[in-house]
Structure 1
Amino acid sequence: MGLSAEQIARYRQDGFLVIEGFVPEAACDRLRSRMAELLVGFDPRGVRTVFSTEDQRHAQEDWFLDSGDKIRFFLEPGALDAAGELRRPLPLSVNKVGHALHDLDPLFDAFSRQPVIEAVARAVGLEEPLLLQSMYIFKQPRIGGEVACHQDSTFLHTEPLSCTGFWFALEDATEENGCLWAEPGGHRRPLRQRFVRTGRTTWMEILDPAPLPTAGLVPLPAPKGSLVLLHGSLPHRSGPNLSDRSRHAYALHLIDGTCRYSESNWLRRAPTMPLRGFPRPADH
């Protein structure tokens, strides 16, 4: 149910691990179908928050700042025309949906809290795994933008560091349509930045002036149904989608409940919606 000794060793060495066939293709299709239903129920009028890792303007908007305990939709940078209207139908204009699908939607909840995911989390050292955030990422054909090189613990910080990414390929992820790229062993270097929030203001705090790598990253192609496991300190990015095929993915970020979740993190939740982990047998 967890990882083999060889897989754990590779993860500790590289900071990432690609496990093909981790999720049945039928389960991937169910998540895609459910997201299509959620899109039908979304009214985009008045909501024009574009998600981009290039300028981070979204990080100052209430729609983003209040999404830690909600399901909210974010558009692609190339989705709007000069008048602020959608260039294409909504299902082809959304960048991602986040950040509490795993708590608020029954199907995403059930998928996210499978025992096999808990087993992997514990195998890589999370003593008390808690599900912090979730994202459905579209990477739209031709306009799916590049995600700049980053470390997940920059945005989801605990003391000590414990953020771990679970990235599920709901469609084939290739170099052409924007698969992940990562720096092997880069997780052993320090965390470079902290994304800090005070009230409604966010900024990037420099922890280590060494730049994130622009070379030496390797592609992580992932066939449909694969899990890509990512250490929170691992520098990684994804390229733009230059193809005519989408690259849907579902991403979960877990932290260890034995660690302190930094109060200055951007992602915050209402006291009535505390973080949850995995159900115990008595919970079923």
Structure 2
Amino acid sequence: MTNITLQYLTQEQVDQFYRDGYLRLPHFLSPDETEALLTRARQLLSDFSVEDHPLTKFTTGDDNHVGDDYFLTSGDKIRYFLEEEAIDKDGKLTRPKEKAVNKIGHGLHELDPAYRKVTLENPAIKGVARDLRFHHDPVALQSMVICKQQHIGGEVPEHNDSTFLYTDPPSALGFWIPLEKCTAENGALSFLPGSHLTAPITKRFVRLPQGGTGFEELIPPGQAPAHPEGKYTLEACEPGDLVLIHGSVLHKSEKNRSPATRFAYTFHMIESAPHAVYDAKNWLQPTPALPFSRVLDDGPNASVHPAAGRV
């Protein structure tokens, strides 16, 4: 294999990513860049109109996952999804709108200039994508600001991203940038290192024929490998760090019980055709007006990392 000249990452960092399934890059964004994204997120929350909102909550349980039309048609829009505890039994907000939103998504990287600049127009992001060689020709398909509101920011249980952004073969790669300090108290991410090597994608999140969303089994029950053993590692982060997340690595975050929010910006890439298939079963679909954007503007990579397609 031809030696690859790295542009942004070191070989040690590339090796660590493929060993652990994730990698934290400290101070990836400058303080000014990070503050600009945080300020913009707060402005979006301030401009958010509750009056014409369907009060769609974002839920993550297998039996109660969000799946209404507001969610399913959000790929080419900027929409707001509420915390479960922000709405009472009568369907009314229990707190100001700025403190009720779980996340803003899913087309920020396309439609908002501030987020587009750090996603699709950022030479450092392109450099990381080239150095990892995770994809031949990556495309960006969704983006979110996750607010993790104080006291009510919901728990995100153990999962891997390729379940929710499925391609054949699996190819999801997450870019997660905290806009505020992330601690054990306000819901920092935790990872099961190496689980991407032993935990295959056993199900996928799909649009159901009768409407809504659900899960389709990819491996029959009882035939999946045993759950990976090991101890979760908490990754406390500073604003502006970047965490790269392999689509098969298991990770989670606890509920935010603290008085501090935990704003983070995250977006995902997948492999493009013909190297992977992204089909009509997926909950998020490109539109003619806004197809998935190519990340690299200099043509497909000649090769991928030898470990990129494992599990």
Instruction: Place the TM-score, normalised by the shorter chain, in its bin.
Output: over 0.9
**Counterpart of 1:61?**
68
Q: Distance in 2 between matches of 1:120 and 1:205?
A: 32
8 Å CA contact 2:68, 2:212 repeated in 1: no
TM-score, with length taken from structure 1:
0.93
How far has the Cα of 1:212 moved from its partner?
Answer: 5.6
Name which of structure 1's ranges 254-263 and 9-18 shifts more when overlaid on structure 2: 254-263
Aligned pair in 2 of structure 1 residues 251, 206: CA closer, same or farther (>3 Å)? Answer: same
Name which of structure 1's ranges 254-263 and 227-236 shifts more when overlaid on structure 2: 254-263
8 Å CA contact 1:156, 1:265 repeated in 2: yes
Q: Which runs of 5+ in 1 are unaligned?
A: none
In the alignment, structure 1 residue 119 sits paired with structure 2 residue 130: no
Q: Distance in 1 between matches of 2:285 and 2:189?
A: 27
8 Å CA contact 2:102, 2:153 repeated in 1: yes
How far has the Cα of 1:261 moved from its partner?
Answer: 1.3
Give the match's secondary structure for 2:105.
strand
**Counterpart of 1:167?**
176
**Counterpart of 1:270?**
287
Q: Distance in 2 between matches of 1:128 and 1:65?
A: 26
Give the match's secondary structure for 2:266.
strand
Q: Which runs of 5+ in 2 are unaligned?
A: 1-6, 299-311
Aligned pair in 2 of structure 1 residues 230, 137: CA closer, same or farther (>3 Å)? Answer: same
**Counterpart of 2:216?**
205
Aligned pair in 2 of structure 1 residues 213, 137: CA closer, same or farther (>3 Å)? Answer: farther
How far has the Cα of 1:122 moved from its partner?
Answer: 2.1
**Counterpart of 1:193?**
203
How far has the Cα of 1:213 moved from its partner?
Answer: 6.2
* Counterpart among 220, 225, 228 of residue 240 in structure 2: 225
**Counterpart of 2:83?**
76
Amino acid at match of 1:171: E
* Counterpart among 263, 266, 270 of residue 251 in structure 1: 266
8 Å CA contact 1:115, 1:278 repeated in 2: no
Amino acid at match of 1:204: F
TM-score, with length taken from structure 2:
0.85
Amino acid at match of 1:83: D
8 Å CA contact 1:213, 1:235 repeated in 2: no
How far has the Cα of 1:158 moved from its partner?
Answer: 1.3
8 Å CA contact 1:133, 1:253 repeated in 2: yes
In the alignment, structure 1 residue 91 sits paired with structure 2 residue 98: yes
How far has the Cα of 1:83 moved from its partner?
Answer: 2.0
Over the aligned positions, Cα root-mean-square deviation in angstroms equals 1.9
Amino acid at match of 2:285: R
Q: Distance in 1 between matches of 2:144 and 2:254?
A: 18
8 Å CA contact 1:49, 1:58 repeated in 2: no
Q: Distance in 2 between matches of 1:246 and 1:214?
A: 31
8 Å CA contact 1:21, 1:225 repeated in 2: yes
How far has the Cα of 1:263 moved from its partner?
Answer: 2.5
* Cα offsets for 1:131-179 (capped at 9, x unmatched): 1100100001110010011110001111222110000011111111100
Amino acid at match of 2:115: F
Q: Distance in 2 between matches of 1:261 and 1:108?
A: 24
Q: Distance in 2 between matches of 1:213 and 1:239?
A: 20
* Counterpart among 223, 231, 244 of residue 216 in structure 1: 231
8 Å CA contact 2:65, 2:214 repeated in 1: no
Instruction: Give the structure with higher Rg (CA).
Output: 2
Name which of structure 1's ranges 156-165 and 4-13 shifts more when overlaid on structure 2: 156-165
Q: Distance in 1 between matches of 2:202 and 2:193?
A: 16
Give the match's secondary structure for 1:228.
strand
**Counterpart of 2:4?**
none
**Counterpart of 1:17?**
23
Give the match's secondary structure for 1:260.
coil
8 Å CA contact 1:187, 1:231 repeated in 2: yes
**Counterpart of 1:110?**
117
8 Å CA contact 2:137, 2:295 repeated in 1: no
Give the match's secondary structure for 1:64.
helix
Aligned pair in 2 of structure 1 residues 111, 20: CA closer, same or farther (>3 Å)? Answer: same
- Count of residue pairs brought into register by the alignment: 281
Aligned pair in 2 of structure 1 residues 147, 213: CA closer, same or farther (>3 Å)? Answer: farther
How far has the Cα of 1:279 moved from its partner?
Answer: 6.5
In the alignment, structure 1 residue 237 sits paired with structure 2 residue 252: yes
Percentage of matched positions with identical amino acids: 42
8 Å CA contact 2:65, 2:213 repeated in 1: no
